Every structure is written in structure tokens, then in C-alpha cells.
Amino acid sequence: MLSFGERLKRARERRNLTQAQVAKATSISDKSLSRYENGASAPDPETILELIRLYDVSADYIMGLSPEMGHATDPSSGSSLSAPHLASAPDAHEMLEGLSGEARKKAEEYIEMLKTLDEVKSGENFLDAKKKA
């Protein structure tokens, strides 16, 4: 299974972007991006959202929940960028129970990150609605 950093790098390379080009297009320095891709540090949820949109990949792929890169959701459609709700999967509990302690901890961290992404997205929708009013 690919690490978070490896998925970021593959998504960037699929778009034929260099780290320097990403730095110019975003608020992320090329040094920070390198650390994210090498696993030396982790981006905050807002940065992850920025990369998902730039790379046009699904949040599921970036978070390791899907092997397919897919496409980012169109922000104007209002549809969620997060993974499907795990509680709706009949075997979600079994899937988590089958993981090692470290893998389970990572899965829980991904879930928390997805919740934060949902909150960020909900906040953006709220602010967009207020601007239109």
C-alpha cells in the first residue's frame, strides 16, 4: 500500500507538475511539499484540500481509502470531497479490527482528517451562501 506521501507525489506527477510549479500555484513551499511527499511531515487539512483540488484527485485516493485517483469534486456542485461514511459499510468494524495497532491508529487519523475536510467544506459552503445573500 502506498504511503500518504507517495500518493501525493503520484497525483502531482499525473498532472505533470514539478514541486516548484505546485509552490507557484499554491501557498505551499516546494520544501514543505517535499517533506509531505517524503513523509517527514504532514500537511494540515486545508493544505490537503488545496492539493486535492490542484491535482484533481479524489480525497479517497489521497487518504488511502481508494486505489483509484479519480477526480476532485467540482466545488460548485456542493458534493462532498470526503470518503463514504465508514459506518454504513457492513464490515467496517471488522476491517478496523483486522488491522494492526499502528494501522488502526493511521485509519483513525485519516477518519479524523476526513471529518475536518468535511467541516472545512461545510464552512466554505456557509461562507459562500452568506456572500450571495
Consecutive 10-residue runs of the chain (133 residues): their mean pLDDT? Answer: 92 92 91 95 91 89 86 54 39 66 78 74 56 56
- 38-to-13, 83, 120 alpha-carbon distances in Å: 14, 24, 25
User: How many residues are present in the chain?
Assistant: 133
SS3 133: coil
Domains annotated on the chain, with CATH:
4-132 (1.10.260)
- What integer pLDDT is reported at residue 10 of this predicted model? 94
Task: State pLDDT tens for residues 60-97.
Answer: 888 888 888 887 755 445 454 433 333 334 456 666 66
- What integer pLDDT is reported at residue 123 of this predicted model? 63
- What integer pLDDT is reported at residue 92 of this predicted model? 61
CB within 8 Å of 78: residues ≥ 6 apart? 125
